[in-house]
């Protein structure tokens, strides 16, 4: 069944979608959030401090990273441009299964590629923490990350992030709104982590942990001698059950100590380290949390 005005809707979405080059051959997508140069994309798309952004009309800009939340996998960028075609945003709490879904992005370098499908649901997924996802039966590929998932009116309902089985997962637009309006925190640890379940050496039970993939030099984690491969288990107050638990442990302002429990090599020995937070840090790399 033909949708009246679908061609115009798709074209407007393309104009509100950007191509992002960030380190090596890495390509991703982003969405224009305001006409004065504010963009949003996935945090994992932004792998350099000054990513290059290409607009629908071919213009290229060097972007600055304004803020980054690796727990929700979001990053805010800014370019020196005005009168940009900003995307319209919908209330993701009103999205219902069975609605039409439209994805725009730059998969495998194909600029402005369009894919359509239907919304499967909105909510959390097992193994991915407690956060909600807009789940859609839409075909995505590398390069779609950071691009828009829209409804039949062309309004953004989510930011495409990953694929789980046959489903495309997008960060709900309401969570994106909260991210863009949040006041920055000084609670940066300086690590990139990945959730994992660690087998117990004495039972069949598995323990949740956050595997450290990268440590930013001269960050709180770096000064505390945390290393890639370490597994963060929790703080002095609670064990981690999701990446959001670490984000909550980092909240606060001013100089303070955070006591972390972690594993290094030996799964039977829990180590502890005190990390100094709240100091002014050199912002060398946007890949750190």
Query: Annotated catalytic, 21?
Result: no
Q: Quick check: helix, strand or coil at residue 234?
A: strand
Query: Annotated catalytic, 44?
Result: yes
Among 21, 29, 73, 235, the active-site one is 73
Joined together, the tokens standing for residue 260 give 């972390």
**Dmax (CA) of the chain:** 63
Among 92, 145, 173, 219, the active-site one is 145
Among 21, 29, 44, 92, the active-site one is 44
Contacts of 180 (CB under 8 A, 6+ apart): 33, 38, 40, 76
Nearest to 75 by CA among 162, 145, 151: 145
Q: Quick check: helix, strand or coil at residue 94?
A: helix
The per-residue b/e assignment along 82-109, b for 16 or more CB within 10 angstroms, e otherwise, is eebebbebbebeebeeeeebbbbbbbee
Active site residues: 44, 73, 145
């Amino acid at each position: 069944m033909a949708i009246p005005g679908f061609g115009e809707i798709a074209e407007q979405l393309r104009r509100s979608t950007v191509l992002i080059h960030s380190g090596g051959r890495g390509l991703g997508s982003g969405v224009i959030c305001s006409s004065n140069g504010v963009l949003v994309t996935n945090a994992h798309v932004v792998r350099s401090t000054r990513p290059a952004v290409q607009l629908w009309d071919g213009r290229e800009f060097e972007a600055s990273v304004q803020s980054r939340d690796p727990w929700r996998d979001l990053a805010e960028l800014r370019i020196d441009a005005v009168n940009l075609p900003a995307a319209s945003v919908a209330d993701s709490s009103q999205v219902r299964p069975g609605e039409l879904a439209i994805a725009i992005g730059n998969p495998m370098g194909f600029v402005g590629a369009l894919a359509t499908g239907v919304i499967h649901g909105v909510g959390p997924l097992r193994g991915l923490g407690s956060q909600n996802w807009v789940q859609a039966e839409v075909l995505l590929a590398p390069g779609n990350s950071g691009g828009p998932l829209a409804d039949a009116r062309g309004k953004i309902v989510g930011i495409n992030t990953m694929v789980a089985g046959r489903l495309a997962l997008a960060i709900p637009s309401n969570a994106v709104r909260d991210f863009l309006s949040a006041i920055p925190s000084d609670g940066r640890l300086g690590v990139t982590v990945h959730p994992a379940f660690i087998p117990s050496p004495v039972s069949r039970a598995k323990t949740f942990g956050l595997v450290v993939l990268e440590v930013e030099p001269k960050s709180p984690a770096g000064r505390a001698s945390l290393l890639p491969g370490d597994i963060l288990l929790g703080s002095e107050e609670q064990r981690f059950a999701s990446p959001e638990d670490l984000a909550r442990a980092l909240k606060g302002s001013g100089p303070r100590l955070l006591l972390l429990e972690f594993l290094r090599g030996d799964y039977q020995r829990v180590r502890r380290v005190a990390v100094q937070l709240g100091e002014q840090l050199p912002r060398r790399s946007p890949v750190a949390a």
